[in-house]
Structure 1
Amino acid sequence: MSRQPPTAPRPALIGKVLMRCAGQCAVCRAWSDRTVCAGCLDLYARPQPRCWTCAAKLPPGLTGHARPQCGRCLADPPPLDRAVAAVDYRFPWDGLLQQFKYRQALDLRESLLERLASALDAAGAPEPDWLLAVPLSAERLRERGYNQSHELARALARRRGLRCDPGLLLRVRHNAPQAGLKLDARAANVRGVFAVEPLRAAQLRGTRVALLDDVMTSGTTLFELARVLLDAGVMSVQAWVIARTPAD
């Protein structure tokens, strides 16, 4: 039987106070009725031309292409039909995502989702049948207390009327963190890590899936999950992420 992610714990009161005071922008601390104020969004969340299949930032001159791709994706196409990233993984989003991921800063969720929703609408990304989060291992769940990607996925799925079920994708073994590994080592590190819940595979067969993660670095985790889904009979797979790091 698949393990259900635990309900996200509420941040401790002292943590909330230290992270940000109510009514202030989480970035510049100006008084604001939003977690990230309009001025900071204008400065740090401007749309960027991105690769169609890995969301890496592209030079502005490629924006005229119908489906622009980076050199890496042209040489070795990934198993994604589309990849959409809301922002670059740099100030202030890197710090905000770290707070959301490791410090239970759930008050940042709506601002992060607003950025992703805007990027999806601007990109014209097709609506999938399922929106599924990248699963965590049991060890990582115990360590963090909740799956940050599932917290984002279930809220976005509710907004867009999509199906979202944390029991459909499994992380069948605990693997080392991807950070710090070279590209080849990252691919080997996630090989064989994921699976579709065998008793429920029929629910995904013939459907379109979007995978949601907070940060996309090399893409190897999302690519491996996409391959697993395609092997299980899924028709197409997209990747939706809050932030994309610079291409390696």
Structure 2
Amino acid sequence: MRCQPRNTHQVYIWLNNNQTCLLCDESTGSSRSICEDCEADLPWLGAQCLRCALPMPSSDQTCTQCSINPAAFDEVVAVWLYDFPIDALVTRFKHQGKWPLGRLLAELFAQFLQYRFNEGLARPDVLLPVPMASKRLRQRGYNQAAMLAAWLGARLQLPVDERLLKRVKETPPQQGLDARARRRNLLGAFELPTPQNVAGKHIALVDDVLTTGSTADVLAGMLRKAGARHVDVYCLARTPKPGD
């Protein structure tokens, strides 16, 4: 696929000089591509569910869904609330091929993860991007989750495996579906060709946005069944509960 970026090459040159902020077009005065003011104004995810990162009124709580029917994954690590301008940045990266925006988000995410690792969050053995169906991959030309995983892996010195999980069934887009419909939509959509390769490992699934968590739950369930000892989910942003 000609437009599929290879992991061994940079999508663009990340120059070590004074850059222009990708959000406000002002000089950052450093080699970073976001200025301090814009970074501070991002919708950082605050109080959240201890398991699924759903925005909550206060910290140190578990949401009702996770208390009654917890998902197969252990913890969601998300950086931002899916709100402006993160929603616009993710959309432009995901659907319009604006790779510098994705690289910027991955850099900030890597910094956040390193901070969490320093604070005691266990480092995973491998990063697994959420796979994309072949037809959609041909249409889009790239898998944004795989690109995020590659950038995170390089920055955090974590291995990445893009082939361990496969999407073998074309399904309608998940947007607009509730949690139950999303799970029905995903029946038989994924495969784990070499389950022995996950036995005993701590795995982190990588995706751009977590909405209901249905996809992550299905994949985590497969990995758990294959013997994975711990499954986390790393995503850029978390959507609030509908109606909030």
- How does 1:6-85 map onto structure 2 within 5 Å? 6-7=4-5, 23-32=19-28, 33=30, 34-60=32-58, 63=59, 65=60, 68-85=61-78
Match of 2:15 in 1: none
Give the Cα–Cα distance (whole angstroms) in 2 for the partners of residues 178 and 112 of structure 1: 23
Aligned-pair CA distance for 1:155: 1.6
What is the alpha-carbon distance in structure 2 between the residues aligned to residue 243 and residue 46 of structure 1? 9
> Do the aligned residues in 1 keep the contact of 2:45 with 2:55 (CA within 8 Å)?
no
CA distance in 2, matches of 1:125, 1:152: 20
Tell me the TM-score normalized by structure 2.
Answer: 0.86
> 1:29 offset after TM fit, Å?
2.4
* Divergent runs of 4+, >4 A: 8-12
How far the C-alpha of 1:47 sits from its partner, in A, is: 4.7
Q: Which amino acid aligns with 1:143?
A: Q
Q: Does 2:102 match 1:109?
A: yes
Q: Offset of 1:41 from its aligned partner?
A: 1.1
Normalising by structure 1, we get a TM-score of 0.85
Q: Aligned-pair distance for 1:245?
A: 0.9
Q: Assess if the C-alpha contact under 8 Å between 2:110 and 2:155 holds in 1.
A: no
Amino acid of the residue matched to residue 184 of structure 2?
A
Report matched runs for 1:221-232 at 5 Å. Answer: 221-232=215-226
The Cα offsets for residues 97-128 of structure 1, whole Å up to 9 and x where unpaired, read as 11111122111233212332243324743111
Percentage identity across aligned positions? 35
Structure 1 stretches of 5 or more lacking a match?
13-21
Partner residue of 1:191 out of 177, 187, 201: 187
Secondary structure of the residue that 1:243 maps to in structure 2? strand
User: Which of 128, 132, 136 pairs up with 1:136?
Assistant: 132
* Structure ranking higher in helix proportion: 1
- Distance in 2 between the 1:35 and 1:221 partners? 32
Distance 2:95 2:217 in 1: 24
The DSSP-based 3-state class of the residue aligned with 2:80 is strand
Contact 2:107 2:151 (C-alpha < 8 Å) held by counterparts = no
Matched-pair contact (CA < 8 Å) for 2:208–2:235:
yes
Classify 1:118/1:69 alpha carbon distance in 2 versus 1 (closer, same or farther; 3 Å).
farther
Question: Deviation of residue 191 (structure 1)?
Answer: 2.0
Task: Tell me how far apart the structure 1 counterparts of residues 106 and 120 of structure 2 sit (CA, whole Å).
Answer: 16
Deviation at 1:45, TM superposition (A): 4.3
| Structure 2 unmatched ranges of 5 or more | 13-17
SS of equivalent residue, structure 1 residue 97: helix
* CA distance 1:238–1:10, shift in 2 (3 Å): closer
RMSD of the alignment, in Å?
A: 2.4
State the SS of the aligned residue for 1:210. strand
CA contact (8 A) 2:43 2:84 kept: no
CA distance in 1, matches of 2:110, 2:120: 11
- Structure-to-structure mapping, 1:73-222, within 5 angstroms: 73-120=66-113, 121-122=115-116, 124-197=120-193, 200-222=194-216
Residue 48 and residue 185 in structure 1: after superposition, are their counterparts in 2 closer, same or farther (change >3 A)?
A: same
Is the contact between residue 35 and residue 108 of structure 1 (CA under 8 Å) also seen in structure 2?
no
Contact kept? 1:82, 1:238, Cα under 8 Å = yes
Q: How many residues align?
A: 229
Give the Cα separation in 2 of the matches to 1:240 and 1:176: 23
